[in-house]
Chain A
């Protein structure tokens, strides 16, 4: 249990760097635990680092870092992250997609999540994006309420959009040119 804070912690939002990957991986695993599927995390620290810091990165990430003056001795420095990338709509053009947004439970209530999301939105606007999209699990009521309160529309509920996936085996079959049953 954290002690009552006299003022909010000094937390800065900055781009993730390669050295942060181990910390971000810790938070990714925490989020998977919260979403009740920790066994689904297959990626390694090295994989995350390679994919984000190669010549043609597959994602971008922001981290929320507690400033030195407020950091406790054994406590984490990186307490939240927002992972995003750019997508494209044949109707509206450039989009920004917020894949993950997470703040450690003991650091919530201080606007860190809002600041991460706001910075991602800013980056989207700077890059000429006309929409931001994200996905939420249907039982995650607090997240749904949060995004709805910010003006998001649930496209699955209102327009019937469903996310589909071809997994590895189905892809292998398609690659052989199978026309389907």
Chain B
């Protein structure tokens, strides 16, 4: 996308509380892309409390598009994000878990994804994480290829790991001791 003689560029930075509405917009866009537009139940309030409260459940990087000759933040649009948190493997220690990773369609090919992954990897290395884990739906061929090209391995196929989920109803039932 070009506008006359202005040059589009972007920057990646840690998310701030004021970014929550935009992050939620992108979460919903990603859900729609995954054919699950009504699946998103969390709200801006949830994101604020859980990401920017006293005990963060997640961390977020955002990618914003700026125009070189304007004030850096005056009209910056958030066009991509990565949500991550830290998990633990008792065999190898800390891991960085990439929960969501999305760049708006019209901003792909700019290197935003590469920059997000670069920053995530730097964070993982700086915090002594042994590796990064994430999920991909196996029939999402473009995503699979994107990650495999960058050296990812499919642990479900290679080692036989299956992910299981208990939904809220079952969680409550188990919590009651049934």
| Contact, CB under 8 Å: B90 / A58 | no
20 A-B contact pairs sorted by A residue (CB < 8 Å) = A28-B90, A40-B91, A41-B91, A83-B88, A87-B97, A88-B58, A88-B85, A118-B175, A130-B167, A132-B171, A133-B163, A133-B166, A144-B162, A151-B169, A151-B170, A161-B156, A163-B161, A164-B152, A165-B133, A171-B132
| Cβ of A134 to closest chain B Cβ, rounded Å | 5
Q: Across the interface, which residues of B come within 8 angstroms of A175, CB to CB?
A: 118, 121-122, 125
Q: Is the interface of B mostly helix, strand, loop or mixed?
A: mixed
Given contacts A88-B85, A160-B138, could you give 17 more A-B pairs where the C-beta distance is less than 8 Å? A86-B85, A91-B39, A91-B42, A121-B174, A124-B171, A125-B172, A130-B171, A136-B164, A150-B166, A155-B164, A161-B136, A162-B157, A163-B161, A164-B155, A172-B121, A177-B118, A178-B114
Q: Across the interface, which residues of A come within 8 angstroms of B132, CB to CB?
A: 165-166, 171
| Complex CA–CA separation, A164 to B134 (angstroms) | 5
Interface residues as binary, A103-130 with B (CB distance below 8 Å gives 1, 0 otherwise): 0000000000000011001101100011
| Contact, CB under 8 Å: A137 / B160 | yes
Question: Is the C-beta of A71 less than 8 angstroms from some C-beta in chain B?
Answer: no
Closest partner residue, chain B, to A171 (CB atom): B121
Question: Is the C-beta of B77 less than 8 angstroms from some C-beta in chain A?
Answer: no
| Cβ of B90 to closest chain A Cβ, rounded Å | 5
Q: How many residues of B contact A (CB 8 A)?
A: 75
Q: Across the interface, which residues of A come within 8 angstroms of B40, CB to CB?
A: 90-91
List B residues at the A interface (Cβ < 8 Å): 27, 30-31, 36, 39-42, 46, 50, 57-58, 83, 85-94, 97, 99-100, 111, 114-115, 117-118, 120-122, 124-125, 130-139, 146-147, 149-157, 159-175, 177
| Complex CA–CA separation, A94 to B177 (angstroms) | 21
Given A51-B93, A164-B153; A152-B164 close (CB under 8 Å): yes
| Complex CA–CA separation, A7 to B110 (angstroms) | 67
| Complex CA–CA separation, A164 to B174 (angstroms) | 29
| Contact, CB under 8 Å: A90 / B27 | yes
Question: Is the C-beta of A6 less than 8 angstroms from some C-beta in chain B?
Answer: no
Q: Across the interface, which residues of B come within 8 angstroms of A168, CB to CB?
A: 130-131
| Cβ of A24 to closest chain B Cβ, rounded Å | 8
| Complex CA–CA separation, A51 to B89 (angstroms) | 11
